[in-house]
Structure 1
């Protein structure tokens, strides 16, 4: 079946690319809902109005995965498909069954793909998310009197390691300086790579500087448009989690690198298709850069700064951590940094505050029990 071309009638303040991205996620959610039992319909409505769009998709994916497990891997239902699972089948499920699903099946399972078998292993963080999704589902169905009892109290705890400041990967300030030198000079690239770098160096520089200045999430940077920037007022607009609209102030460095890129390197408007005309960062094909392309770009430059292979370069999220620790090391308060990075909880920001260079060495050095004399 051929899909009709989408036409956008946008009366909101959101740019069209954000509306399109959200529509893709909504379509995926609806596709999953069609594969699930009809008695979950009110649960779908709850997710639609009660959680962020990305969380809604994650919960639905986990619930579908569980329902497919019930059909294909367990004796808890005789339904031929997930859609056909009945309320009676769900009422027979015990906490022990969920614990077996999480502990035995989810920790390591296989998936057949064409001519090969894919082995999937999940760590505790992934298992905890699946447990959370099922807890929300079973509590809702009990609250709505679809299930006779609440079994979630019997779910086994899943222990997650406490985040340690020393485990946070980020670049030191001198490594950021090295990385920016590589962006400027192209040093470290092969002759073939330099040909590509010559055509994208201003774009790459603008991307890297935005990451290390503002600690943007990769999706926030990828969605930026030319119209996001108001150079007269000295700010730009981003859309964060839960479609939260935020105005960010522009400093002189960021304004300079963005203007240089737009004037001297970005493709002229008449060479870009209608859907991508407003996109800030374009690929060599004059299309909006994908999240994957931005990740690869960041890994390439961070690997040069770290002196390691491209596979061991850092992701954009590590540049978010770099921005946070750099700001704190330069004397900004954790509450200022929390506000800039949009952390829901200040304890997340405190992890970066605790990660100061050589702090252990300084503590021990200044805590001698014996006098040298």
Structure 2
């Protein structure tokens, strides 16, 4: 089995059987290519020549590159899955990554927006224009549902149910989930669909049921959404970074800080494991102070 032929088989397996997203496949390919380059540098050209000692040497090379523990863990997980597939198909006799311990992940508090920062972002859109209506609907939907950017670009008009105020989202592995949204998002979406989207769609010679369109009437891309959010931050004169995933972090943080059940948030976010959702259980300083002031018997002085 040649390396690149094995990679091609695995990619086809990810696409057909696992229904993996293009982003997932891209990362798998990068991790495999990194490992293959290392093997070539060591003069190893057969899959069955790879053993635990070879893997340990590869890990040493990774750590010398000063990669984060998260990056190293991802590479190990990718390659472990790759060799699991090869072993299952009878292409190798064992998985050399099977007993490699994943480095402990760095516990970082997810970056999120405070309410005051969000309000400024909600106020910058010019609702007399089609693009302004689209931008407000976009940021309201992200904050209302916590969807991923890869999920957002696939949303169609028919995925919205304004009778129940829910949106149908296709997550990782094309798993379906319904997410409710509130009044602010509803008003922004209805205005955009009835006015702004129609104006944008008229600029294109094709028809599409994709919800969010660019200035030419074509479906928005992930880069397009990032560009829109960057401009909104500049217009709001905020000195903060913004990316679609930060709004997802904000959704989860605000939900949990207001008392939402952890498993409910897990389902809304489409997380397979509860441990993934638990990174959002940090408490903001404002929330911590309010809990203390309302709970401690002697927090408030008596008049």
Task: Tell me if TM exceeds 0.5.
Answer: yes
Q: State the match for 1:188 in structure 2.
A: none
Q: 1:209 aligns with which of 140, 163, 166?
A: 140
Q: How does 1:126-275 map to 2 (within 5 A)?
A: 126-142=71-87, 144-153=89-98, 155=100, 157-164=101-108, 167-183=109-125, 198=129, 200-232=131-163, 234-266=165-197, 267=199, 269-274=201-206
How far off its partner does 1:148 sit?
Answer: 4.4
Q: Note if contact 1:239-1:246 (Cα within 8 Å) is conserved in structure 2.
A: yes
Once residues 242 and 363 of structure 1 are traced to their aligned partners in structure 2, the CA distance between those partners, rounded to angstroms, is 39
Q: Note if contact 1:183-1:201 (Cα within 8 Å) is conserved in structure 2.
A: yes
Q: State the match for 2:43 in structure 1.
A: 75
Where in structure 2 are there 5+ consecutive unaligned residues?
A: 299-303
Q: Note if contact 2:262-2:278 (Cα within 8 Å) is conserved in structure 1.
A: yes
Q: State the match for 2:53 in structure 1.
A: 96
Higher relative contact order (CA 8 A, sep 6+): 2
C-alpha deviations, 1:231-271, integer Å up to 9, x for none? 34543322111112233334332221112112332226443
Where in structure 1 are there 5+ consecutive unaligned residues?
A: 1-32, 78-88, 109-120, 186-196, 369-373
Q: 2:35 aligns with which of 36, 57, 66?
A: 66
Matched, 1:37 2:13: no
Structure 1 pair 331/94, CA: closer, same or farther in 2 (3 Å)?
closer
Structure 1 pair 163/284, CA: closer, same or farther in 2 (3 Å)?
same
Under a length normalisation based on structure 2, what TM-score does the superposition of the two structures give? 0.80
C-alpha deviations, 1:156-194, integer Å up to 9, x for none? x34233424xx2210112221222122359xxxxxxxxx
Structure 1 pair 343/302, CA: closer, same or farther in 2 (3 Å)?
farther
C-alpha deviations, 1:35-93, integer Å up to 9, x for none? 8236984x56654565341345533442244224433x23123xxxxxxxxxxx22222
Q: Note if contact 2:62-2:72 (Cα within 8 Å) is conserved in structure 1.
A: no
Structure 1 pair 270/356, CA: closer, same or farther in 2 (3 Å)?
closer
Q: How does 1:49-60 map to 2 (within 5 A)?
A: 51-54=18-21, 55-60=24-29
Equivalent position SS for 1:248: strand
Count of equivalent residues: 293
Q: Note if contact 2:69-2:106 (Cα within 8 Å) is conserved in structure 1.
A: no
Structure 1 pair 228/34, CA: closer, same or farther in 2 (3 Å)?
farther
How far off its partner does 1:348 sit?
Answer: 3.0
Q: How does 1:16-31 map to 2 (within 5 A)?
A: none
Q: State the match for 1:317 in structure 2.
A: 245
Once residues 256 and 99 of structure 2 are traced to their aligned partners in structure 1, the CA distance between those partners, rounded to angstroms, is 42
Once residues 213 and 147 of structure 1 are traced to their aligned partners in structure 2, the CA distance between those partners, rounded to angstroms, is 47
Matched, 1:124 2:93: no
How far off its partner does 1:145 sit?
Answer: 4.7
Equivalent position SS for 1:282: coil
Equivalent position SS for 1:183: coil
Structure 1 pair 102/252, CA: closer, same or farther in 2 (3 Å)?
same
Q: Indicate the RMSD between aligned Cα atoms, in angstroms.
A: 3.5
Q: State the match for 2:269 in structure 1.
A: 341
